[in-house]
Structure 1
């Protein structure tokens, strides 16, 4: 194959992959926007707004036991009342799978340390979002 043919093949491959790359970037931006809405609602203590970010059949897998329905809002309200604040999520990847988007990233927040002083905690985070009626709602949420 000549250099000219290789160049043309590379240009065509680049043009064909550009729409997919743009779609992937948009999906990650949309996932980050959803995570930002979650952070804002949690940090403001707006439990109703936070609860509305979850699908009606959502599951939040916590260290204790999985939460669903009204218990999701109660769980996060309790966490907030115990001094867990300043939540921030950074999306690292967003992979579409039909009407679902598998989102991974990092989380951090401050909470009570062993001596009672505020301490920064952080870890990995996974959300499965469902695309429905033009919005993304969480159907599965977990972290470590």
Structure 2
């Protein structure tokens, strides 16, 4: 069995806004289509809008964050909570403005070995609106 060494890496602006560290646990390989990462968000950091061809499961590990769909649904993600995002559902996720957040992200590759399609950045206005909705819930 191969020894796996994981090194957190800074994530770039093509996928995230703010300070984000991605600890890639595994990518699709050896006949498995599963990809998994432990993603750490500083306060106010977030993904860009994106979707996954086979869906995505998020499992909160630290802090409090948001999962927001294009349709306007706002969910909080806390340690121990699991959120399932269906295939092709445009969404974003990230930390509240007042808290760090970390989650495990699990997704599968499609027949073309793609796990995610990145879209435009979340605007500051959309981010503030989601934070306000989470505060009022």
TM-score, normalising length: structure 1: 0.29
The structure with the largest helix share of the pair is 1
Structure possessing the higher relative contact order (Cα contacts under 8 Å, 6 or more residues apart): 2
Normalising by structure 2, we get a TM-score of 0.30
